[in-house]
Amino acid sequence: MSKIKILVTGVVPEAGLAELRKNFTVDCKPEKAGRDWVLAHLPEYDGLILMGLQGDRELIDAGTNLKIITAIGVGFDHIDIEYAKQKKIVVTNCPQSVLIPTAEMTFALILATVRRLHFYDKTIREGKWVSVSKPENMGTGLQGKTLGIYGMGRIGSQVAKYAQVFSMKVIYHNRHQLSSEKEAKMKVNYVDFATLVKTADVITLHAPATPATTGVFNKQVFQQMKKTAYIINAARGKLIKQTDLIAALQNGDIAGAGLDVYETEPEVPSALRALDNVVLSPHAGAGTQEARTSVTAEAAQNLISYFRDHRLINQVNK
């Protein structure tokens, strides 16, 4: 067992690696070592916790001894999972640990966006006072409004619960409709995509980035949304065509946006940064001390389960 070697490419809490270190030899990438270092040394390793690098064909080819890659987090669109499958490399993710923190971030972005906290904060820091007696300076309340959820998985379901605390009506669109029993229990209603877009006062995104979902929120969709509506994305940046979103925000096609993810991270266009009707966050959905430790431990458990227990969990390239 001690011969099995695991490489960790990102900066993760050491506490999350404790159990992994009991079972295997674990190396964290030297702080100043970049992708070239990883490519050169990857043949030495059996397992990989991948963070901060693209798991493309070049990296997969370099892992001549790799048996498993685990992404830290629920998203795995940075890994070529089909090519890994061809190379007989298992790819796993960590869906449990990011659920609550990402749902919390989503709702933080909703509140910050509809209540215009960025605009208020910026103005006061400039030494000015904002009169909220003027309609143009007012925010929007959530009570009685409709939340449209795109992707009713674990995170979307948690956001729905939070929304109902604020007395919001919840509609959703998903690849598969939930059972009528689940819908009744969750107090949500399924609608088609066109109805979601036209009806919702706030739309939150919780779908993975796939060929089918990439750019699904684009110019045509923004033009169908209410001019008073907001869009919130703490899922994957590729779900939104960024240039179309910027134009929609500039033109007043929609009221605002709250973004934790971007189409070309870590680059955020200056045109987006210049807007007062946008709240921006640096992909911090799971960026809490508790969540980072938990997701690292979940990634570690994927490897422990595979190598020690000969059992696959959280596999995404079956």
- Known catalytic residues are 236, 265, 283
DSSP letter for each residue of 24-37: SEEEEPPTT--HHH
Q: Taking CA 294 as the corner, what is the angle to CA 289 and CA 298, rounded to the nearest 5 degrees?
A: 150
Q: Which residue matches tokens 């499958």?
A: 85
Cα 254 from Cα 249, distance rounded (Å): 6
Q: In this structure, what token pair is assigned to residue 25?
A: 């030899």
The Cα–Cα gap between 202 and 255 comes to 10
Among 263, 294, 260, smallest CA distance to 280 is for 260
Q: Count how many residues are written for the chain.
A: 318
Q: Which two tokens stand for residue 184?
A: 């009744």
Q: Which residues contact 194 (CB under 8 A, 6 or more apart)?
A: 224
Q: Label the pairing between strands 230-233 and 169-173.
A: unpaired
